[in-house]
Chain A
């Protein structure tokens, strides 16, 4: 397979610390190695497209900014789309975070940073050896939107959508919320909505929401609705937020309210495609709420006016030669995405429900289930590669970071200028629930003195129970560590929120001190 390695200097932020030229020279065996000043500039994007086509690349390693960065800026998104259109499957692109997780936090140790960058690049390339193309399905979007919350924001969004010919389903536990100060201003809109034939009101609490952008199914007690998109506008109703959270799984702020993925540049988008949020902001002027509801309705419209929405099936897959139908995955999956044929004794994945979190992959006692985005063999191999990094004092820790909070918090620490030793070696996993205890054993075997798992705080797991299941497994697993003469203190689990980078790194540094003090004892 032709693999390309495209490295970003990030306007010198990376190249000032890491010796990218010497790094690049280590990968001459790859089909293409290129260094860009800024990978996301328009010139770079054109060059990337050209290079993929001429070198017939089928796999790509993007080394530079954090993978989260590409999602946050428009050109980043464009870069990924260009790569996709040039013929590289999304699952065959791997990201190596040289900026936030190497250059920034290790700026006082350029040679250590360069060596660490090398192992991280090796991990990035390794991923492409074990992953395969992810399948896609085309969804014909439903011309309807469910608006959760009969609030001022919800009403204005409904107004816009009705004007553009969409059906609107209002869902809330009251037929109309108290609009407070805005009652008078909302009058005409309210009258328009109430008399519109394409509007329905539902006061039942949703019991289940699943499906994808373009076609969600919302169960309301004994009946269900279909909607192409969801707009969540429940302001500061914490009780309702708690009830909805397990169903829609979008980010929440520290007060527990739903929030957009990035509050400054895309104010209503969430990590769940097709679900938009009109976030609660205290004491906002009406004009701002209207701006938000306009954004939400515009984005819903541009999504649903497509002929077809392509959906990538980053799901759990089953090795049918190995699955014996024990039912463990059925018990594990909170999304009811694991299904079992009791006659054939074979489990399968319901692609409409599976979110790809990988909890069933950890739970599967046979190893028959695997995660398309990060197969077990890749993770094991990545741990072996990371273990090759030799810090000067020989004490190193594996830092398993969940994509929900652990990984972003480590990025945040880098951005905030927090420095920490290069001996903290990060490996990103989809969710804490994906952490199979086999990985922890592998880390100790390969010579890590400690393992840190950085996960979402208790009720903030985007996959609802991933962090709970990790704790359950880790609690039982500690007996295994003890039996090997490894003190269970060498495994640490931290719950952080995204913006607590400093504290999670601080705990890791303190952990390194602890490991140095106990040395080889226990």
Chain B
């Protein structure tokens, strides 16, 4: 059997997903026996060749991203949305909460450190789209692999599945399922909130590394987030931020997490938290039910 031809491409994002491929280390050598990477940002080939598998990371936020995505779709038999940004729009999807003009003004003219700033405008640079999109809002996607970035184990497994003509299996349960922390109060059928207060991350000198974050009054997105990341953050004593996106039965993460939190933590405390919206929609706003700010009309 010949090698499978692969091209990888980068849209809008931090490049972390491509770096994560390199994190496969020695496993990459094994993998390269079955695939041939004809094009990637790493080998700096500009043209997109015809391939069996196109791997795209990043979200679609400007005209260049859109063009690249479409070219990949033309040239590749199958497309893998690789990483959280490609799957759900990612963290920069949060810019959808503001009209594009406000975003540009803030970035180029209004920041406190900017003097005589001006919004760049030239036909040589790609134009920003009004909203950030996930990959499947732009082109048809065949396979998904969420994660910010996906772990080497996940990448290896997904690629192996694809090479064997199987759709990569993504877990369906929430992170609590694989979380190894101890749960007590969450399992007790009592209507009282599990803590008296909500603790913000700034106050976290003394987090119990073994106890459920929510039971310590710390907002953890685990309940509304898909498992499969090996709960890296949680093991590192940091609450889940939700990068694996919503579980398949939920329509979105933000509203679902709010529904749940209202019965777990004191709402009063949550309301005064700095950013319930930013927490709930950190990674998946572009694929949420109401994915961007409403355009204001004047009468």
Chain A positions within 8 Å of B, measured between CB atoms, are 319, 321-328, 330-334, 336, 338-340, 342, 345, 362-368, 370, 376, 380, 436-438, 440-442, 444-445, 465, 469, 472-473, 475-477, 479-480, 483-486, 519-522
In the bound assembly, the distance between CA atoms of A319 and B175 in angstroms comes to 16
Interface centre among B173, B194, B263 (most CB of A within 10 A): B263
**One of A322, A486, A520 near B249 (C-beta < 8 A):** A322
**One of A324, A480, A522 near B254 (C-beta < 8 A):** A480
Tell me whether B257 is interfacial, beta carbon within 8 Å. yes
A476 and B289 contact, CB distance less than 8 A: no
B294 and A326 contact, CB distance less than 8 A: no
A437 and B259 contact, CB distance less than 8 A: yes
User: In angstroms, how far is the closest chain A Cβ from the Cβ of B134?
Assistant: 16
In the bound assembly, the distance between CA atoms of A465 and B264 in angstroms comes to 14
A327 and B258 contact, CB distance less than 8 A: no
Tell me whether B10 is interfacial, beta carbon within 8 Å. no
Query: In the assembled complex, which residues on chain B have CB atoms less than 8 Å from the CB atom of A364?
Result: 256, 259-260
Query: In the assembled complex, which residues on chain A have CB atoms less than 8 Å from the CB atom of B251?
Result: 367, 376, 380, 438, 442
B299 and A331 contact, CB distance less than 8 A: no
A324 and B290 contact, CB distance less than 8 A: no
User: In angstroms, how far is the closest chain B Cβ from the Cβ of A386?
Assistant: 16
B255 and A324 contact, CB distance less than 8 A: no
In the bound assembly, the distance between CA atoms of A212 and B237 in angstroms comes to 46
Query: In the assembled complex, which residues on chain B have CB atoms less than 8 Å from the CB atom of A469?
Result: 262-263
A520 and B254 contact, CB distance less than 8 A: no
**A332-B263 CB under 8 A given contacts A480-B277, A486-B294:** yes
In the bound assembly, the distance between CA atoms of A263 and B154 in angstroms comes to 63
Tell me whether B2 is interfacial, beta carbon within 8 Å. no
**A476-B258 CB under 8 A given contacts A327-B176, A331-B194:** yes
B189 and A476 contact, CB distance less than 8 A: no
Tell me whether B280 is interfacial, beta carbon within 8 Å. yes
Query: In the assembled complex, which residues on chain A have CB atoms less than 8 Å from the CB atom of B299?
Result: 519-521
**A437-B97 CB under 8 A given contacts A331-B263, A520-B297:** no
In the bound assembly, the distance between CA atoms of A59 and B7 in angstroms comes to 51
Tell me whether B271 is interfacial, beta carbon within 8 Å. yes
Chain B positions within 8 Å of A, measured between CB atoms, are 97, 172-178, 183, 186-191, 194, 222-224, 227, 246-252, 254-264, 267, 270-271, 276-277, 280-281, 288-290, 292-299
A365 and B276 contact, CB distance less than 8 A: no
Query: In the assembled complex, which residues on chain B have CB atoms less than 8 Å from the CB atom of A475?
Result: 262, 267, 271
Query: In the assembled complex, which residues on chain A have CB atoms less than 8 Å from the CB atom of B175?
Result: 324
Query: In the assembled complex, which residues on chain B have CB atoms less than 8 Å from the CB atom of A342?
Result: 183, 187
In the bound assembly, the distance between CA atoms of A366 and B232 in angstroms comes to 20
**A323-B173 CB under 8 A given contacts A332-B263, A436-B255, A472-B262:** yes
The 5 closest A-B pairs by CB, nearest first: A520-B297, A367-B249, A324-B177, A327-B186, A324-B173
Query: In the assembled complex, which residues on chain A have CB atoms less than 8 Å from the CB atom of B280?
Result: 480
Number of A-B contacts (CB under 8 A): 182
Query: In the assembled complex, which residues on chain A have CB atoms less than 8 Å from the CB atom of B276?
Result: 476, 479-480
Query: In the assembled complex, which residues on chain A have CB atoms less than 8 Å from the CB atom of B261?
Result: 476
Query: In the assembled complex, which residues on chain A have CB atoms less than 8 Å from the CB atom of B260?
Result: 326, 328, 363-365
Nearest chain A residue, comparing its CB with the CB of B171? A324
B255 and A441 contact, CB distance less than 8 A: yes
B259 and A445 contact, CB distance less than 8 A: no
Query: In the assembled complex, which residues on chain B have CB atoms less than 8 Å from the CB atom of A476?
Result: 258, 261-262, 267, 270-271, 276
B263 and A328 contact, CB distance less than 8 A: yes
**A477-B255 CB under 8 A given contacts A324-B175, A331-B191:** yes
B289 and A326 contact, CB distance less than 8 A: no
In the bound assembly, the distance between CA atoms of A367 and B235 in angstroms comes to 25
A328 and B223 contact, CB distance less than 8 A: yes
**A321-B255 CB under 8 A given contacts A338-B189, A340-B187, A476-B276:** no
User: In angstroms, how far is the closest chain A Cβ from the Cβ of B241?
Assistant: 15
**A322-B189 CB under 8 A given contacts A366-B250, A520-B297:** no
Known: A436-B256, A465-B191, A476-B271. 15 other contacts (CB 8 A): A319-B249, A322-B172, A328-B186, A330-B188, A331-B186, A333-B189, A438-B250, A438-B289, A442-B289, A444-B290, A444-B294, A472-B267, A480-B258, A519-B298, A521-B297
B223 and A326 contact, CB distance less than 8 A: yes
Nearest chain B residue, comparing its CB with the CB of A369? B249
**A519-B187 CB under 8 A given contacts A366-B256, A479-B276:** no
Query: In the assembled complex, which residues on chain A have CB atoms less than 8 Å from the CB atom of B183?
Result: 327, 342
Query: In the assembled complex, which residues on chain B have CB atoms less than 8 Å from the CB atom of A477?
Result: 255, 258
B271 and A484 contact, CB distance less than 8 A: no
Query: In the assembled complex, which residues on chain A have CB atoms less than 8 Å from the CB atom of B249?
Result: 319, 322, 366-368, 370
Interface centre among A336, A362, A376, A472 (most CB of B within 10 A): A472
22 contacts between A and B (CB under 8 A): A324-B178, A331-B190, A331-B191, A342-B187, A365-B259, A366-B223, A438-B255, A444-B290, A469-B262, A472-B263, A473-B258, A475-B262, A475-B271, A476-B261, A476-B267, A479-B277, A480-B280, A483-B97, A483-B281, A483-B293, A521-B296, A522-B296
Nearest chain B residue, comparing its CB with the CB of A464? B191
Nearest chain B residue, comparing its CB with the CB of A333? B189
